[in-house]
Structure 1
Amino acid sequence: MRSRRRRHRHAVLAATLLLAVTGVIGVAAAGREPVLKQVDLPHSYYWRELYLPQLTTGPSSLSFMPDGETLVYSMGGSLWRQRIGSDEAIELTHAKGAYDYQPDVARDGRSVVFTRYDGTGMELWQLDLGKGRARALTHGGAVNVEPRLSPDGKRIAWVSTQGTGHFNLFVAELGAEGLRNARLLLGERRSTIDRYYYSPFDHAINPSWSPDGQSLLYVGNPEVAWGSGDLWTVRVDDPTQRRKVLAEETSWSARPELAPDGKRVLFGSYHGRRTQQLWLTTLQGAAPLPLTFGDSERRNARWSPDGKRIAYIGNAGADGNTSLMVMETVGGASQPVQAKTHRTLQPTTQLTLDIFDESGQRVPARVSVLASDARAYAPADAWMHADDGFDRARQATETHYFHCASPCSLEVPAGATDVTVQHGFAHALWQQRLQLAAHKSTPVRVMLEAQPLPREFGDWIGADLHVHMNYGGHYRNAPAQLARQAQAEDLDFVENLIVNKEERIPDIAYFGTRTSDDPDRPRIAHAQEYHTSFWGHLGLLHLRDHYLTPDFSAYRHTAMASPFPHNGVIADLAHAQQGVVGYVHPFDTVPDPARDAVLSHQLPADVAQGKVDYIEVVGFADHQATAAVWYRLLNLGFHLPAGAGTDAMANYASLRGPVGMNRVFLDTGGRLDEAVMLDALNAGRGFVSNGPLLGLLLDGQKPGATLRVDTARKLHYRVALRSPVAVDHLELVHNGQVVKRFDLTGDATNNHHRFDAEGDLAVTQGGWLLLRAWNDGADPQILDLYPYATTNPVWLESSAGVPDARGDAAYFVAWLDRVIEAADARDDYNDAAEKRATLDYLQGARAIYQRRAEGK
């Protein structure tokens, strides 16, 4: 995975480098910026999902009222109050265009503090429970989360990015006038070790008060390379008095909390397991013991005021959605707190969507509903998802969406409601503004319009080669649920790449299994992603024997710090069990051997040595930057097929894109069989896309074929474009240069979304030719950097030869010089033999490019 923040920051640089490489420039993702861009941390898709509150239809966080019998909790972006044993939830807050999370009730029961997100930042608010009035406590647009009131209610602790962009502990006095004397408790500190998944600056998160109000428990990560930190305690009035309570591999949501008696510390941990459970230790750091067990998650736990109960958020239900549970501390008897009825602050209505395809058959689909209160809604049992970026000039907050198994019903406020329905790439978007009357059910029949490619261009299946079914997110996914997600996206095949998240591998039990051959359901295969922050990540498909371990290498400051095995070794191990090897999410910017501070990506070495079967040209990277590198490899005659994968964490609420957002369309004759699919992938018979559908015939030959070029005549081309969104550019590219631009001006319905053309093209040299489509900027309906699609090449043979590619070879020589330099500088190989084998492999690849650069 890559840092989404970095991708947005360097989009223009990537486009500028493309000008030098390919003669084409596209200003990628114009206007689109990350959600909560003020947070200055790498790998936003981790901390945003695992740490910051997200919009879910089920409960997400909670606090006990003083009676120990009533809870205040967040659900659907509002705060609710509900008595344990009752089935009615009473809405306490409902802000237009904003969502409320993380309540903490004062010990006297008169008020609750909470976090409010409005698309700009997260601020602290306080609600007077008697008067129903809310006031803002913080201002300025920072990210302020995890508010916790001291036992006497006179002070508040929270986590804020104010002033630094990093997560730090703050404390302040709280009175009638609001906050006073707000201060940074621990200060900024930069660790002496390097960290890949975490900022070089330490963070302090997950605060909770001691019963006497003198100290805070929290999670901090000074000199911690692996995980989000250890459990610490600090005296609030003397921050120099702090000590480590427990060394623990936490993952953003340990949230330690002392029992009311001050003796036991409750916290959440994976602790080497696949799921997060509740654990107990002491302030003296006694050996932690688990309090809960099982295959579902438990998080955000709180003690009741008397310590006899623990309430937490789980996802054990059949649908894998979040749920609120209350457990007896002694005995473990548990009961759900379910809201079967809702007493809302404003009138609501029921909206029912019934979705049909062009043949009149009901189909599931992806749906976005934005109601009259400028908030997103979904059915109570649906998983709400959120995009990871948006254009502030066009939207107030990021797009939220859910998958509707038609028909589906949801409760929304009355008034004007915007609905968008999408079912894959071969159907037009359905969008309408509905006027919904209060207390009246409104059925809506949605008829989707098909816009497939003409059959002569291919008989396609669509596959997402890079999905993570479970990855520590809010929801609990399973193959049947993943198949439903894929079906709603009109996707035929999903490769679930099982991989580690720190010390756990959530889906390891599914490795090697396959779904049934039900012709009406997408196929799910459980494969592997191989992690290394040094060489680049690999997708390992169709492994026939065993999962490759360790699942990572080159992780600094661990027992697996050695850069060996490098990716070439892993590729050989995968091929030995009939696996298919691809490079995933390759490049956020075009690598520059002369300027990059460090360059260790191993792709060109492995391509030269014949280890790579495909590359994710469309994936969790900058598509044009990746294509620029891909073009150079194609120029050198490497038949490297394009693949595509979303890198979707499919159990996340803050999903970086729905399953199938980035997909490869493969011409299999319509056969939905993994072996046939992988054969088509290896042969380059298809195209990759995040929206536009492309068809290319060159003298009747499809992508992946080889065509003899006759210099005495022109080649006849046929092209087709179908797209759910408008497309700016459609081009034929020959050996990296645009040789034909199609005019897409005029009527948008006919020319931007649907286009057909044919003609003749004078091509005298050999090499390759492909068709690509792309946009200058982002489109809010494509939840990616910008719309982009490309076919695989048609290969051309000619007596006139191919263009001079010595410059491309020299580029990779310079690249590998930097890789060799980086590999040689590592001092953490396990032995000299590992280092020698690695450097010999890289030198051998460099020699291949050197001979090409010399024209040999």
Structure 2
Amino acid sequence: KQPLDLPLYAIGTVHPQISPSGKAVVVSYQGSIWRLPAEGGTIKRLAAGAGFALQPCWSPDERRVAFLQGKGWSGGQVKVVDSRTGAAIPVPGTLFATGRPAFTPDGRHLVGNLRRERQLEAFRSLDLETGELKTLLRLPSPRQPWALSSDGKWVAYVTTMDMPEQQTGNDGPQADLWKVPSSGGEAERIVRFPARLHALCWSLAGDALYVSTELGGVHNDLYRVALDDPERPTRVTFGQADEDWPSVSRDGRRLLYADNHKGCPALVLRDLAADTSRTLPIERLDFGVPVGRLSLKLVDKGTGRPLVARVALEHADGSFHAPPGALWRIFGDVGHFYVRGEVEMNLPAGRYRLRAWHGPEYRMQQLNLELRSAETTQQTVVLERWTDPNARGWYSGENHIHANYGYGEYYNSPATMADMCAGEGLNVGNFMVANSDGDGVFDREYFRGRPDALSTEQTILYWNEEYRSTIWGHMTLVNLKQVVEPVFTGFKDTTNPYDIPTMSDIAWKTHRQGGLVNYTHPASQPADLYRGAYSAKGLPIYAALGKIDTMDVMGSGDRASSALYHRLLNCGFRIAASAGTDCFLNRMRSWLPGGERAYVKMDGPFSYQKWIEGLRAGKSFVTNGPMLELSVDGKGIGGEVKLPSAGEVHVRATVASQFPLDRLEVLYNGKVMATAVPVKKELTTELDTTIPIKSSGWIAARAVGPAAADVQGEWLHGHTSPVYVVVGDKPPGSADDARYFLAWIDRLWDTIQERDRFPDRRSQAEVEAEVNEARKVYGKIIDKAARTTR
């Protein structure tokens, strides 16, 4: 048992459930299953092992706990253990589930979204003695929350207004709450709730449901929905952040839930009769095995100074560990946390694999260590650079980070974001003020119109904005002094239901305050760049109108986004390459901040303003690892080469990578003009060549390779912004790509007319005029291309 110096509260317990008697609690904590008394005290580990254990539930007699174990965070294999000893209890056959399962009142069956291997998911009942798996229902939205009534007769579940191929919230923020007999039958809608519902549990009497929802804001609170008066729910909690995962004891007196206003979730027990609440203290961690102590230090080899780093501690049994209260998160199938220089923690004795990262400029360090019972192990991890872009004037950043964005286990602050960004070696972190499905706007309280006060010389934190339209696409607006209003448009049944203002208005409001306009996650499907709920459908219009400074070539859908980028460049639009991961860092499982990032070249000391202006000027390359350099006739990335007539240019491209690459390419107007194949074991590959230039256009360098275990993204990839080439006085422009975008605009306009989300005909006419201006631009490109080829 590990006694704590002082009682802790917010240690990071998730998925809590109170026992039927109200005397004990089970939780998932750092990917293992634990129990503790309902008054707090010692928390005891019941189950651990490879992967992550989540969504525990009690049997009616409290002798067993069922849970899911897997590599993901939404489901896994169904396991059952003894609730006192943690001893495994066999489950007939191999069974998988998504979301929390539940025991039936007789304890003989387990119900939930269950399936055997290679079986489609459905709401099923497992006979825990015979292994018979019986389909009861097919819930319309299996990923939405559901709950079994205390008598086992009813299932409550949730559906939303969302439709395939549409953004969430496009058709309204509401959620329908239903009930259906657990044995099957006709479902009855209880209420159309005005906001999303994230967790459910029944009252003891079955006359109400407790729900978690962000109704009226962005943070989740608990409400009681009475079945005989569902239109008037009663608010139960009034927290500063999120209250989630409600459960009620069998006597109907105690309501348990999690509260994350301290960052990590704490457990709160509410006496419903007395209307009082208290947070459960954690006084001791009982791992159930001998414990040793680890004293860990992280040091930069080059400077000898303490370093902020991402750390994974994996026990020989496959379980992951972190200090109590750490924002323990999952990337891929690895649990990790951030350490600012040093940390001490007690852990189960045994063998561990320790891995440490500090972004793509450093080599991952891995070592094996053994913790002995009742002994302290001192361990220093030295992280070493393999490249130093800052020394060459290149500074990293990204434009699309969500510190807090709904549906998350944690509540982030500038302090936690400083740890994550510094731990990834990210120089610029642009965080987003944004909505999700409805009127609530996340993180507005952190907007300052300048870098946050916790910024340092090497790590700048800046809350900016993601403008989100359900039809035009999403833009990240950075270097803002004021939030650009409205923050979102086109969300039905909200304060901004219309498809106006357009991106032109938003771009004008951004540019007048010195901001930069960036289109984010522009494409996801290489076979049809237009298609996708979150694709940048308005980008060809606003690129043609000169409103867009940059676009995220990397961050999501990299292959499709690169293809769209090339087509826009081929039309003669000068748009710089940027990157934005769209990571959700309050969620336990998400991308890493800066896992795909932009490097921007600047002269002199680093500053946020220089980074923004360098990016605007196109002095950038984007990457998830490879480090690129490019020059054309001596002009660097973002530069311009002028030729009096058709001729040749000298191109020098360089890539350095700590992971194997397939090739380095030089592109001219999207076509591969030269290729170099890296030599094995060599960090750097160079390509020095001359290429023929027939017409105005652009030249870029690209490096590609197979996906690597420690690298974010579908492949190893780096891409520069262009060096532009002007031949004579002839402007660039591809007729084929212009025709492609004219067809794109026609397709978009048909959708806009079908949506008909305008307050009046005048507004529609103004938008149509803007669209027609973009059409004219593409028409001129086609005409000029025809004259050039005559």
Q: Is TM > 0.5 for Structure 1 vs Structure 2? A: yes
Q: Evaluate the alpha carbon distance shift between residue 269 and residue 826 of structure 1 in structure 2; reply closer, same or farther with a 3 A threshold.
A: closer
Structure 2 residue 307 is matched with structure 1 residue 307: no
Structure 2 residue 475 is matched with structure 1 residue 538: yes
Instruction: Report the TM-score, using the length of structure 1 for normalisation.
Output: 0.82
Partner residue, 1:609: 545
Q: Evaluate the alpha carbon distance shift between residue 815 and residue 238 of structure 1 in structure 2; reply closer, same or farther with a 3 A threshold.
A: closer
Q: Evaluate the alpha carbon distance shift between residue 136 and residue 270 of structure 1 in structure 2; reply closer, same or farther with a 3 A threshold.
A: farther
Q: Evaluate the alpha carbon distance shift between residue 583 and residue 591 of structure 1 in structure 2; reply closer, same or farther with a 3 A threshold.
A: farther
Partner residue, 2:175: 229
Contact 2:162-2:172 within 8 A present in 1 as well: no
In the TM superposition, 1:814-829 aligns within 5 A as 814-829=743-758
The one-letter code of the counterpart of 2:772 is: Q
Contact 1:568-1:611 within 8 A present in 2 as well: yes
The one-letter code of the counterpart of 1:445 is: T
The one-letter code of the counterpart of 2:700 is: L
Structure 2 residue 158 is matched with structure 1 residue 206: no
Give runs of ≥4 in structure 1 deviating > 6 Å: 161-167, 593-600, 710-714
Contact 1:355-1:406 within 8 A present in 2 as well: yes
Structure 2 residue 97 is matched with structure 1 residue 153: no
Instruction: Report the TM-score, using the length of structure 2 for normalisation.
Output: 0.88
Partner residue, 1:582: 518
SS at match of 1:815: helix
Q: Evaluate the alpha carbon distance shift between residue 846 and residue 138 of structure 1 in structure 2; reply closer, same or farther with a 3 A threshold.
A: farther
Q: How many residues align?
A: 762
Partner residue, 2:157: 218
Partner residue, 1:376: 320
Among 648, 651, 656, the alignment partner of 2:586 is 651
Partner residue, 1:77: 31
Report the more deviating stretch, 336-345 or 708-717.
708-717
Partner residue, 2:670: 736
Partner residue, 1:393: none
Report the more deviating stretch, 153-162 or 303-312.
153-162
1:715 Cα deviation after fit: 4.8
The one-letter code of the counterpart of 1:310 is: L
Identity %: 25
Contact 2:524-2:535 within 8 A present in 1 as well: no
SS at match of 2:217: coil
Contact 2:122-2:135 within 8 A present in 1 as well: no
SS at match of 2:609: helix
1:619 Cα deviation after fit: 1.5
Partner residue, 1:183: 135
Partner residue, 1:325: 268
Contact 2:733-2:781 within 8 A present in 1 as well: no
Per-residue displacement from partner, 1:449-479 (whole Å, max 9, x unpaired)?
A: 22335778x4122111111110121101112
Q: Evaluate the alpha carbon distance shift between residue 162 and residue 690 of structure 1 in structure 2; reply closer, same or farther with a 3 A threshold.
A: same
For 1:619 and 1:374, locate their aligned partners in 2 and report how far apart those are by CA, in whole Å: 30
In the TM superposition, 1:340-359 aligns within 5 A as 340-357=283-300, 358-359=302-303
1:364 Cα deviation after fit: 0.4
Among 503, 510, 517, the alignment partner of 1:567 is 503
Partner residue, 1:786: 715
In the TM superposition, 1:549-564 aligns within 5 A as 549=486, 551-553=488-490, 555=491, 561-564=497-500
Contact 2:484-2:510 within 8 A present in 1 as well: no
1:521 Cα deviation after fit: 5.7
Q: Evaluate the alpha carbon distance shift between residue 73 and residue 459 of structure 1 in structure 2; reply closer, same or farther with a 3 A threshold.
A: same
Among 547, 552, 560, the alignment partner of 1:625 is 560
Contact 1:687-1:694 within 8 A present in 2 as well: yes
Partner residue, 1:29: none
Per-residue displacement from partner, 1:75-127 (whole Å, max 9, x unpaired)?
A: 12222222244532222223x31432222222322222222225596233332
In the TM superposition, 1:742-757 aligns within 5 A as 742-746=676-680, 748=681, 751=682, 754-755=683-684, 757=686
Partner residue, 2:261: 316
SS at match of 2:659: coil
Unaligned runs of 5+ residues in structure 1 are 1-55, 189-200, 390-397
The one-letter code of the counterpart of 1:631 is: H
Report the more deviating stretch, 829-838 or 484-493.
829-838
Among 396, 404, 415, the alignment partner of 1:480 is 415
Contact 2:402-2:431 within 8 A present in 1 as well: yes
For 2:280 and 2:199, locate their aligned partners in 1 and report how far apart those are by CA, in whole Å: 23
- Report which structure shows greater RCO (CA 8 Å, sep ≥6): 1
1:164 Cα deviation after fit: 10
Partner residue, 1:796: 725
For 2:155 and 2:595, locate their aligned partners in 1 and report how far apart those are by CA, in whole Å: 43
Contact 2:290-2:373 within 8 A present in 1 as well: yes
The one-letter code of the counterpart of 1:113 is: A
1:369 Cα deviation after fit: 2.7
1:249 Cα deviation after fit: 4.2
1:488 Cα deviation after fit: 0.8
Partner residue, 1:6: none
SS at match of 2:193: coil
Q: Evaluate the alpha carbon distance shift between residue 538 and residue 100 of structure 1 in structure 2; reply closer, same or farther with a 3 A threshold.
A: same
Contact 1:772-1:789 within 8 A present in 2 as well: yes
Among 116, 125, 129, the alignment partner of 2:69 is 116
Partner residue, 2:484: 547
The one-letter code of the counterpart of 2:55 is: Q
Structure 2 residue 365 is matched with structure 1 residue 430: yes
Structure 2 residue 187 is matched with structure 1 residue 257: no
1:227 Cα deviation after fit: 4.6
SS at match of 2:473: coil
Partner residue, 2:3: none
Q: Evaluate the alpha carbon distance shift between residue 163 and residue 425 of structure 1 in structure 2; reply closer, same or farther with a 3 A threshold.
A: closer
More strand as a share of residues:
2
For 1:817 and 1:426, locate their aligned partners in 2 and report how far apart those are by CA, in whole Å: 44
Q: Evaluate the alpha carbon distance shift between residue 343 and residue 574 of structure 1 in structure 2; reply closer, same or farther with a 3 A threshold.
A: same
The one-letter code of the counterpart of 1:442 is: T
Per-residue displacement from partner, 1:559-608 (whole Å, max 9, x unpaired)?
A: 75543333333323433444321110111123648999999812111111
For 2:287 and 2:743, locate their aligned partners in 1 and report how far apart those are by CA, in whole Å: 64
For 1:812 and 1:205, locate their aligned partners in 2 and report how far apart those are by CA, in whole Å: 38
For 2:290 and 2:748, locate their aligned partners in 1 and report how far apart those are by CA, in whole Å: 62
For 2:50 and 2:536, locate their aligned partners in 1 and report how far apart those are by CA, in whole Å: 44
Among 557, 571, 575, the alignment partner of 1:640 is 575
Q: Evaluate the alpha carbon distance shift between residue 133 and residue 440 of structure 1 in structure 2; reply closer, same or farther with a 3 A threshold.
A: same
For 2:43 and 2:776, locate their aligned partners in 1 and report how far apart those are by CA, in whole Å: 70
For 1:111 and 1:407, locate their aligned partners in 2 and report how far apart those are by CA, in whole Å: 39
Partner residue, 1:836: 765
Per-residue displacement from partner, 1:260-279 (whole Å, max 9, x unpaired)?
A: 34454322111112211122
Contact 2:11-2:266 within 8 A present in 1 as well: no
Among 584, 603, 627, the alignment partner of 1:693 is 627
Partner residue, 1:12: none
The one-letter code of the counterpart of 1:588 is: S
1:827 Cα deviation after fit: 3.7
For 1:519 and 1:698, locate their aligned partners in 2 and report how far apart those are by CA, in whole Å: 35
1:425 Cα deviation after fit: 2.2
For 1:535 and 1:164, locate their aligned partners in 2 and report how far apart those are by CA, in whole Å: 39
The one-letter code of the counterpart of 2:566 is: Y
Contact 2:524-2:532 within 8 A present in 1 as well: no
SS at match of 1:841: helix
SS at match of 2:409: coil
Q: Evaluate the alpha carbon distance shift between residue 131 and residue 439 of structure 1 in structure 2; reply closer, same or farther with a 3 A threshold.
A: closer
1:342 Cα deviation after fit: 2.6
Contact 1:349-1:437 within 8 A present in 2 as well: yes
Report the more deviating stretch, 606-615 or 271-280.
271-280
For 2:692 and 2:313, locate their aligned partners in 1 and report how far apart those are by CA, in whole Å: 49
Contact 2:652-2:687 within 8 A present in 1 as well: yes
Structure 2 residue 403 is matched with structure 1 residue 460: no
1:407 Cα deviation after fit: 1.0
